[in-house]
């Protein structure tokens, strides 16, 4: 059973003051996220990531479509007891202390009274805020507030966690900690759905990613699967000189000491090997160059722009 | 989930307390005591009348200002600051949020009124040196003031559910002022004809009739308040607040939290 089943959720807002005109924030979205999976929802700012999350949280209503979360209708209040949500740039009741805030959220999430204190304490410890648990949130830094946000999302031990830009506003150490925490959640068997535009985080954490652009889901798949679909390059290393025939192919060659390293396209691979044989040069290695998610992502956005431009 | 209303109400109360709203009471109590001393010196024979009038009017006005001031931001501020997102993503229904906010604010005003009433009774004791049986009527006037607050809380929430805090304040305060003259508006409706009669009558019955809640002058003159009026005002306030609150829930249930 998928943890999240999005069945054509769509959102169109009315914009303008006098003459309202429709603005589509999300095209019909179909997406499944399996249980125990870490799913990255990628896209530039304004792509529709937050709209999707708000729709799933019931904060905005869809124009059409529906969704199922943990096997139930997404509007079912019972579902909400089993999910956690961290909004983008969270803001909390700043007159409360971290401990009071988590206590309040524990009450609203239905954590039994006898477990509440212990659960709050454990969560504060987990996100590294135990030392400042009695401090009012108005005195917290942005990074500390982000930790509070994560704490409130996992406090009630949900089966499924939604994070909207969880690394936003965090320094490198904070980002590492959040990554570790997400990995721990995965190890605990929880499903994590998070939106981000920081691709290295997605690459490091996700089992699968979805790329959304201008409200439309462009691609879904495992990082390796997506990046390998881009026509690859090959790194060839050999010993000796650089043959003129290889130079003529326009290959980028870098000589260092006795060795030469060249990055060529896959289609040129045979020609390069033939040239090395002819010149009796010693081939050391041929390795496919893996496209990074970032390269893939930029490529996808460029393609989407081109398609949009040509249809306009 | 049934407790969500109570949890939200308690947090709203805590917010009001930490917002230092209740600390206006200290200023109020000091002001009233000072006024009582002054009144005692300048108005011989009627000092008690002036203290009751001044005290209860102040309780009513302070409370209305607090109800509007806090009420208008209860929903809109939560949307604007997005604190609502982490509440509504839990097993909390939207109506529970509105009703919880209402009870939180109503509770704040009841506590507020309680402390302000102590100030009034203290000032009364200062000028008259003892309490008499008719002073108990002040409690009826205070009860009516609390009923008035319930209506204003619900109206402030209603406006807060669809407009900005500034506009909500203007709407709520205008309605309060018009409501204080609801009797005059009804009389005026009786003097008009045709379509305007229908319109003015409709408007006169739509606005809250706060004039029916004002028994301060008669209480100051130790005139008893009819039991029927107490019952009537109680039912009217509960009905009006419930209607305004239902309106707030209906609007909020349909609203996209962008």
Neighboring chain B residues of A77 at a CB cutoff of 8 Å: 1, 91-93
- Residues in B whose CB is inside 8 Å of some CB of A read 1, 3-4, 7-8, 11, 14-15, 18-19, 81-93, 254, 256-258
Q: Sorting pLDDT into bands at 50, 70 and 90, what band is A224?
A: confident
pLDDT in tens, B170-219: 999 999 999 988 888 888 888 888 888 888 888 888 899 998 999 998 99
Residue B44's Cβ-count burial label (10 Å; 0-12, 13-18, 19+) is: exposed
Q: Sorting pLDDT into bands at 50, 70 and 90, what band is A257?
A: confident
pLDDT of A66 strictly over 90: yes
Yes or no, beta carbons of B86 and A87 under 8 Å apart: yes
Instruction: DSSP letter for B212, please.
Output: G
Nearest CA in chain A to B256: A60
What is the structure's pLDDT at A230? 58
pLDDT in tens, A264-295: 888 888 889 998 999 888 999 888 776 667 77
Token reading at A154: 């996992």
Give the range of the structural domain holding residue B91, as residue numbers without chain letter: 4-254
What is the structure's pLDDT at A290? 65
Q: Round to whole Å and give the CA distance between A58 and B162.
A: 18
Q: Which residues contact B99 (CB under 8 A, 6 or more apart)?
A: B5, B245, B249
| CB contact residues (below 8 A), chain A span 123-152, against chain B | 149, 152
Q: Sorting pLDDT into bands at 50, 70 and 90, what band is B101?
A: very high
Neighboring chain B residues of A60 at a CB cutoff of 8 Å: 256-258
pLDDT of B1 strictly over 60: no
A58–B contact, CB cutoff 8 A:
yes
pLDDT in tens, A101-123: 999 999 999 999 999 999 999 99
Yes or no, beta carbons of B87 and A110 under 8 Å apart: no
Neighboring chain B residues of A83 at a CB cutoff of 8 Å: 89
| Phi, psi torsion values for B84, nearest 5 degrees | -65, -30
pLDDT of B66 strictly over 90: no
* Contacts across the A-B interface (CB distance below 8 Å): 75
Yes or no, beta carbons of A61 and B89 under 8 Å apart: no
Neighboring chain A residues of B258 at a CB cutoff of 8 Å: 13, 60
Mean pLDDT along residues A137-155: 92
Domain count, chain B: 1
Mean pLDDT of the residues in chain A: 88
Domains in chain A and their CATH numbers? 2-228 (3.40.50.300), 232-289 (3.30.70)
What is the structure's pLDDT at B30? 67
Closest Cβ–Cβ partner in A57, A91, A96 for B81: A91
Pairing outcome for strands A191-196 and A233-239: unpaired
Mean pLDDT along residues B27-53: 74
Most confident among A8-12, A41-45, A247-251 (mean pLDDT):
A8-12
What is the structure's pLDDT at B201? 85
Mean pLDDT along residues B73-98: 91
Yes or no, beta carbons of A152 and B14 under 8 Å apart: no
What is the Cα B231 distance to its own chain's centre?
18
Q: Which residues contact B151 (CB under 8 A, 6 or more apart)?
A: B179, B208, B210, B237, B240, B241, B244
Of the given ranges (A224-233, A257-266, B192-201, B222-231), which has the lowest mean pLDDT? A224-233
Mean pLDDT of the residues in chain B: 88
Mean pLDDT along residues A128-150: 91
Mean pLDDT along residues B124-149: 91
What is the structure's pLDDT at A46? 85
Q: Which residues contact A91 (CB under 8 A, 6 or more apart)?
A: A145, B81, B82, B83
Q: Sorting pLDDT into bands at 50, 70 and 90, what band is A311?
A: low
DSSP H or E stretch at residue B71: helix B47-71
Q: Does the predicted model carry a pTM greater than 0.95?
A: no
What is the structure's pLDDT at A231? 59
What is the structure's pLDDT at B234? 96
Q: Sorting pLDDT into bands at 50, 70 and 90, what band is B102?
A: very high
A273–B contact, CB cutoff 8 A:
no
């Amino acid at each position: 059973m998928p943890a999240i089943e999005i069945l054509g959720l769509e959102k169109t807002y009315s914009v303008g003051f006098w003459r309202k005109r429709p603005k589509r924030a999300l095209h019909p979205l179909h997406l499944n996220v399996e249980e125990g999976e870490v799913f990255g929802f990628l896209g530039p700012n304004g792509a529709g990531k937050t709209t999707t999350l708000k729709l799933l949280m019931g904060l905005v209503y869809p124009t059409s479509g529906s969704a199922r979360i943990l096997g139930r209708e997404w509007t079912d209040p019972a579902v909400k007891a089993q999910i956690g949500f961290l909004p983008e740039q969270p803001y909390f009741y700043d007159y409360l202390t971290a401990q009071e805030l988590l206590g309040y959220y524990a009450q609203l999430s239905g954590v039994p009274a006898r477990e509440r204190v212990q659960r709050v304490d454990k969560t504060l410890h987990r996100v590294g805020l135990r030392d400042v648990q009695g401090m009012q949130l108005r005195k917290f830094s942005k990074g500390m507030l982000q930790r509070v946000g994560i704490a409130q999302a996992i406090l009630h031990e949900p089966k499924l966690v939604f994070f909207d830009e969880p690394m936003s506003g965090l320094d490198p150490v904070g980002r590492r900690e959040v990554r570790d925490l997400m990995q721990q959640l995965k190890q605990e068997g929880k499903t994590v759905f998070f939106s981000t535009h920081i691709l290295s985080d997605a690459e490091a954490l996700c089992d699968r990613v979805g790329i959304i652009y201008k409200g439309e889901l462009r691609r879904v798949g495992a990082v390796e699967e997506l990046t390998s679909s881009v026509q690859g390059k090959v790194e060839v290393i050999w010993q000796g000189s650089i043959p003129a025939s290889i130079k003529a192919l326009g290959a980028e060659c870098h000589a260092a000491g006795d060795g030469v390293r060249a990055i060529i396209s896959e289609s040129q691979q045979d020609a390069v090997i033939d040239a090395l044989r002819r010149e009796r040069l010693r081939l050391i290695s041929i390795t496919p160059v893996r496209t990074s998610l970032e390269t893939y992502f930029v490529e996808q956005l460029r393609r989407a722009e081109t398609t949009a431009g040509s249809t306009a | 989930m049934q407790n969500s209303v109570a949890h939200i109400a308690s947090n709203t109360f805590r917010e009001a307390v930490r917002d230092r709203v209740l600390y206006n009471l200290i200023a109020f109590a000091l002001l009233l005591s000072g006024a009582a001393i002054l009144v005692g010196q300048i108005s011989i024979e009627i000092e008690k009348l002036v203290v009751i009038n001044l005290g209860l009017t102040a309780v009513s006005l302070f409370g209305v200002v607090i109800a509007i001031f806090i009420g208008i931001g209860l929903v809109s501020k939560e949307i604007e600051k997005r604190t609502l997102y982490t509440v509504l993503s839990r097993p909390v229904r939207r109506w529970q949020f509105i009703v919880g906010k209402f009870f939180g604010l109503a509770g704040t005003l009841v506590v507020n009124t309680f402390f302000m009433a102590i100030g009034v009774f203290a000032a009364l004791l200062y000028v008259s040196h003892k309490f008499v049986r008719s002073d108990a009527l002040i409690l009826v006037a205070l009860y009516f003031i609390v009923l008035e607050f319930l209506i204003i809380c619900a109206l402030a929430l209603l406006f807060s559910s669809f407009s900005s805090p500034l506009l909500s304040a203007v709407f709520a305060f205008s309605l309060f002022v018009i409501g204080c003259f609801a009797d005059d508006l009804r009389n005026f409706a009786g003097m008009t004809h045709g379509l305007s009669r229908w319109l003015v009558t409709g408007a006169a019955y739509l606005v809250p009739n706060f004039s029916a809640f004002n028994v301060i002058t008669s209480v100051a003159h130790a005139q008893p308040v009819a039991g029927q009026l107490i019952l009537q005002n109680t039912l009217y306030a509960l009905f009006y607040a419930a209607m305004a609150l239902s309106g707030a829930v209906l609007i909020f249930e349909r609203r996209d939290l962008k």
